[in-house]
Structure 1
Amino acid sequence: MDPIGGSEPSPRKMMIAILTLVLCLLSLKDFEVHGGTQANCDFFSGKWVHDPSYPLYAALKCPYITKPFDCKANGRPDSDYQEWRWQPNGCDTPRFSARGLLEKLRGKKLVFVGDSITQNQFLSLICLVSEVFPTTFNPRSHMNNRFISTEYNVSIEFSWAPFLVDLETNNEGKRILHVDEIQSNSAHWIADVLIFESSKWWPEVLGSQRWDIVMEGNQSYTNMNPMVTYSKALTTWAQWVSSNLDPQTQVFFRSTSFSHYNSQRRCDSEKEPIEDPSYDPQPTAHAAILQQVLSTTKFPVKFFNIFRNSVFRKDGHPSMYTIPNITEPEHQDCTHWCLSGVPDSWNQLLYAILLGA
């Protein structure tokens, strides 16, 4: 028997204590914490909380924000839209750290692929990082931009590909969408982290068609159903991902973000987020096709679902504080997002996920 009241614990008691500690640690495995973030947290289910410690950077001090997203420089007088933080249900996310992100990405390349909403998120991340670290920005073109942190040997890039698959204009001025070709665009996509998105340029969202002819192999179509076109394009993308990427590559596909046009096609009167938790508009028709393709692709693509995150932020759009339109002076942008603003939350979620990877 163990001595009672001894000055030193017996070997048996020490063994029991060690085993107890091991069991406690094992019990915490499913709740691993990374910078205050539970590894099994659903980051995309939550609510917006007013937080005067935001924004994380001063928009007027970030030289990389393009004119359409630079709402303060374009004359927007209110600032409350910048002071909101996304709070996931049941867990917390770490506050964004430029140093933490660059350390995690040291020696790597991260590429955003998509349309101007993706460019919105790309520029947000550049502002978040450049607020702390001097960087080199290489605006090679509207289509492809690159941001480099020489200290960490990190490259953050944007690749313009609104349909993912290739789009070309022939000698007759016809716009041809090749639903089974992706080589021209994908030449820019070899990276360590890839964030894809394709939604706003499809007719169901944009309201108009951005191609004249669909090509599949040697067959041309002038009346292919846009949803069928979308499915074929996504399938081509999924096949490319599965066949060309290293298994160590982290791949995300971001959902579409919500637009907030009222009946007059305006949103400039919106100053606060929607607070009704029952407000639950349905995603666009192509969301189901995206989910089906992602569920069958061989490569483990993570669905980055910011749809509900964006649903409540009717106050976050440029509205009238965007590029002046001479021909349509009443035009407002209720699709893109002001910077600083909502896309910063997407990058904070991306940061949290990368920390836990």
Structure 2
Amino acid sequence: MKQNLWKTAYKQNHLVFKLGFSILLVGFGFRLLFSQSSNVIPDNNNNNINIVVDDDNNIIDKDVKLVPSGFTDAVKELNKFHSNDNKSESCDIFDGEWVPDEDIPVYTNNTCRWIESHQNCMGNGRPDTGYIFWKWSPKACELPRFDARTFLGMMRDKSWAFVGDSINRNHLQSFICLLSQVEDAVELYHDPDYKNRKWHFPSYNLTVSVIWSPFYAKADIFEDINGVSSSEIELHTDILDKTWTEQFHTWDYVIFSAGKWFIKSAIYYENKSILGCHGCNGKNNYTDVGFNFAYRKILKNVFKFILKSSPKNMIIFRTSTPDHFENGEWSSGGRCDRTVPANEGEFQMNELNRILREIELPEITKAEAEASEKGMKLKLLDVTPLSLLRPDGHPGPYRHFYPFAKDKKAKVQYDCLHWCLPGPIDNWNDLLMNLVVNG
């Protein structure tokens, strides 16, 4: 019913927004003409794609499908897990629905040079763009869009850090791209693998860092560039990763998010002795204690460190996000070919993702309560339920440059875990700004 109502209203209002849209289109056209050189991870397959629309706001590129008219129902899945601590007095910003969005994206791969190649879905030839024309809408209130100019003004002389795994780095790219539409970031540092980086916004003296720490704790990882392991990870559950702990006191705002790496096979250490393992298949007679053991133990240590530090900074914990592999997993032919948001009930979190969530929410709820008693700011950014409804937002085969250019039936590895940029996770920053403004 909602689909039909929206489609009818959309058609009836074409004439109303033609004039306004034409004016916007002129300004946007100048933006698209400004392609900046990239100094991110070298990508010899750079290919910038413009979004071309007609007077009725329809995409007219011959290789691009029209904006979808599908409508997603409100998020009800997993509401029983929600923490109430991040609800404002009038509105729970995490309880809502994805609704069609007629606005042109704030940025594209033409206007942001900080998108890594595997998330550059436009540049890699994804033919549909409907996945960028949706926005998250809470049920009980209006959620303002991320306002980069206002945000930068608030963050003058401040520092931000994103600590965690590659999905947190994915979020960081969205954050940087939005801010760079006001002032382009200047990169101050990157390590050889571009996993740890730091940027500066000169006019506002704002610094933004990303710290690669997929376990938050000390870990010896034996993987090659393609993620192939030669041995189990050696994870020290009692030693936090000094890559972030030694810098923690220098940041004003910190976003933590990880979780997925805990699913990998690992041997767990404490006091330099082996506690057990996960996924080690009985190797050396170790006891398989499960990844939930290590994740819970390390989260407790992370929050203990934060609370003991009595920081004046604002700490934000973003929940782990579900993947959308269908008919297989990452390494077993799993795919994600959907082009519209899911309806309620279409996707259930798999058991591994559910375990991560059932560990995260109780631990963050306890930490929030203790932080509140101490007058500290520790907030939950719960993006899991709303992300569950966006199977259309992943790179899929377009983590590779034009994967079907030579063979339309080519077998390529799909990425149904990370997110296209621009894409659904830009909406995470709408939620983030709400937490900061109301924090």
The question of a shared fold, defined as TM-score above 0.5 by the shorter chain, is answered with yes
Q: Please state which band the TM-score falls in when normalised by the shorter chain.
A: 0.7 to 0.9
Matched, 1:334 2:386: no
Match of 1:256 in 2: 320
Matched, 1:179 2:237: yes
**TM-score in terms of structure 1 length:** 0.81
Matched, 1:281 2:348: yes
Q: How big is the shift at 1:84?
A: 0.9
Matched letter for residue 337 of structure 1: W
- Where 2:234 maps in the other structure, the secondary structure is strand
Matched letter for residue 187 of structure 1: E
**Structure 1's 267 and 92: CA in aligned 2 closer, same or farther, altered over 3 A?**
farther
Q: How big is the shift at 1:189?
A: 2.7
Cα deviation, 1:238-287, whole Å, max 9, x if unaligned, reads 111111242x321111111121111144445311111x234562452122
Please give the alpha-carbon distance, in whole angstroms, between the structure 2 residues aligned to 1:299 and 1:38.
17
Within 5 Å, give how 1:335-354 maps onto structure 2. 335-354=417-436
Q: How big is the shift at 1:103?
A: 1.1
Match of 1:62 in 2: 112
Answer with 110-119 or 176-185: which moved more.
Answer: 176-185
Please give the alpha-carbon distance, in whole angstroms, between the structure 2 residues aligned to 1:266 and 1:228.
27
In structure 1, runs of 5+ residues without a counterpart are 1-36
Within 5 Å, give how 1:29-108 maps onto structure 2. 40-108=90-158
Larger Rg, first or second structure (1 or 2): 1
Match of 2:179 in 1: 129
- Where 1:57 maps in the other structure, the secondary structure is coil
Q: How many residues align?
A: 310
Pick one of 295, 299, 308 that aligns with 2:371: 299
Match of 2:274 in 1: 220
Answer with 284-293 or 107-116: which moved more.
Answer: 284-293
Root-mean-square deviation (CA), in Å?
A: 2.3
Please give the alpha-carbon distance, in whole angstroms, between the structure 2 residues aligned to 1:258 and 1:175.
23
Identity rate, percent: 28
Give yes or no for contact 2:213–2:241 (8 Å, CA) kept in 1. no
Please give the alpha-carbon distance, in whole angstroms, between the structure 1 residues aligned to 2:391 and 2:347.
13
Q: How big is the shift at 1:53?
A: 0.5
Please give the alpha-carbon distance, in whole angstroms, between the structure 1 residues aligned to 2:166 and 2:100.
27
Give yes or no for contact 2:320–2:356 (8 Å, CA) kept in 1. no
Please give the alpha-carbon distance, in whole angstroms, between the structure 1 residues aligned to 2:437 and 2:362.
28
- Where 1:294 maps in the other structure, the secondary structure is helix
Answer with 215-224 or 298-307: which moved more.
Answer: 215-224
Match of 2:257 in 1: 197
- Where 1:181 maps in the other structure, the secondary structure is strand
Give yes or no for contact 1:104–1:354 (8 Å, CA) kept in 2. no
Q: How big is the shift at 1:129?
A: 0.6
**Structure 1's 356 and 215: CA in aligned 2 closer, same or farther, altered over 3 A?**
same
- Where 1:334 maps in the other structure, the secondary structure is coil
**TM-score in terms of structure 2 length:** 0.66
In structure 2, runs of 5+ residues without a counterpart are 1-86, 223-229, 278-288, 373-377, 404-409
- Where 1:43 maps in the other structure, the secondary structure is coil
- Where 1:284 maps in the other structure, the secondary structure is helix
Q: How big is the shift at 1:152?
A: 0.7
